[in-house]
Amino acid sequence: MTRIVVFGDLNVDVVAVQETSLAHGSDTAARVSLQPGGGGANVAAWLAKLGVDVTLIGRVGTDPLAPVALSGLEGVDLQVVHDAHRATGTCIVLVSPGGERTMLPDPGANDAFAVGDLPPLEGDVLHVSGYSLMRPGSRAAAMAAIDRAREAGMKISVDPASAAPLANDPVFLQRIAPIDLLLPNADEAAVLGPQIDVPELVVKFGANGARWTNGVDTVIGRAVPVDAVVDTTGAGDAFAAGFLSVWQTGMAGDALAAGAQCAAKAVTRVGSRAS
Cα 113 from Cα 138, distance rounded (Å): 5
In 29-120, alpha helices (H)? 39-49, 66-69
Euclidean distance between CA atoms 86 and 112, whole angstroms: 8
Of the candidates 12, 115, 133, the residue with the CA atom closest to the CA atom of residue 61: 12
Does residue 42 contact residue 237 with C-beta atoms inside 8 Å? yes
Going by C-alpha positions, the residue among 76, 78, 80, 90 that lies closest to residue 35 is 90
Can 13 be counted among the known catalytic residues?
A: no
Whether 62 contacts 86, CB under 8 Å: no
Q: Is the CA virtual torsion 87, 78, 48, 189 positive or negative?
A: positive
Asked if residue 236 lies in contact with residue 185, where contact means CB atoms within 8 angstroms, the answer is: yes
Q: Considering 147, 159, 237, 254, which one is annotated as catalytic? A: 237
Q: Nearest to residue 155, comparing CAs of 110, 199, 93, 114?
A: 199
Q: Cβ contacts of residue 151 below 8 Å, gap of 6+?
A: none
Strands 3-7 and 11-18: unpaired
Catalytic residues: 237
